[in-house]
Amino acid sequence: MLKFSEMQEKLQSALSPGRFNHTLGVLETAIQLGHIYNIDEEKVKVSALLHDCAKDIPNTLKLRLCKEFHIPMDEVLLEDIELSHSFLGAEIAKREYGVKDEEILNAIKYHTTGRADMSVLEKVIYLADYIEPNRTPFKGLEEVRRYVTNDLDKAMEIALRNTIEYLAKNDRTIHPLTKEALEFINSKKE
């Protein structure tokens, strides 16, 4: 694995200034949440830094790389190539940044859709991405910020519900993993 400072330099040249700035916001937020929820700081930092490492790859190249790395392109991903950046990001973190830790790779892989039975690290990265301070405010953001420091699952539930509602309103297909993530959280409640 590259040193953190080397990763940061490599990433900065792969991302637009705005996307890099977003990443620094996610990094700062994830470190704070990581302390609250007692997770390994190194894992939090690497996951947060690299979560969007594939975001600025042009869509045609995303598609080609997904094929090359044997990332299964389901119907939703084919319709919305952009969505593949999380799955592709995990592969690039592994191949180009030398990340071997499966927990980190999964936090990157599921940061956009979520999935059923997420680890605490996965939830922290998903939510840090959602609430980081550089994001342009949107409906539901403040509610997630209110819950995130004391009820991680409640914050996930709200964020997932908001995302599904937003996608439905914009006639975009909801990925099965996104639905499963919300169903799993709801199934744990009475």
Minimum Å gap between C-beta 50 and ligand DGI is 12
The 131-170 contact track toward ligand DGI, x by CB under 6 A, reads --------------------------------x---x---
Binding-site size, Fe ion (CB under 5 A): 2
Tokens of 96: 């180009």
Position 122 contacts Fe ion (CB under 5 A): no
Q: Which is nearer to ligand DGI, 106 or 178 (CB)?
A: 178
Hey, CA dihedral for 65, 69, 71, 73, is it positive or negative? positive
Q: Which residue do the tokens 């084919």 mark? A: 78
What does 83 interact with, of ligand DGI, Fe ion, none (CB < 5 to 8 A by kind)? ligand DGI
Please report, for the chain, how many H helices and E strands are present, in that order. Answer: 11, 0
SS3 state at 27? helix
Structure tokens at 139: 């409906």
Separation of CA 92 from chain center: 14
Beta carbon nearer to Fe ion, 24 or 190: 24
Please choose which of Fe ion, ligand DGI, none residue 167 contacts, taking the beta carbon within 5 to 8 angstroms, the exact cut-off set by kind.
Answer: ligand DGI
Residue partners of 119: CB distance under 8 A and separation at least 6: 103, 106, 107
Q: For the chain, how long is the longest CA-to-CA vector? A: 48
Give the footprint of Fe ion on this chain (CB under 5 A).
Answer: 52, 129
Give the footprint of ligand DGI on this chain (CB under 6 A).
Answer: 22, 52, 55, 76, 80, 83, 86, 111-113, 129, 163, 167, 172-175, 178
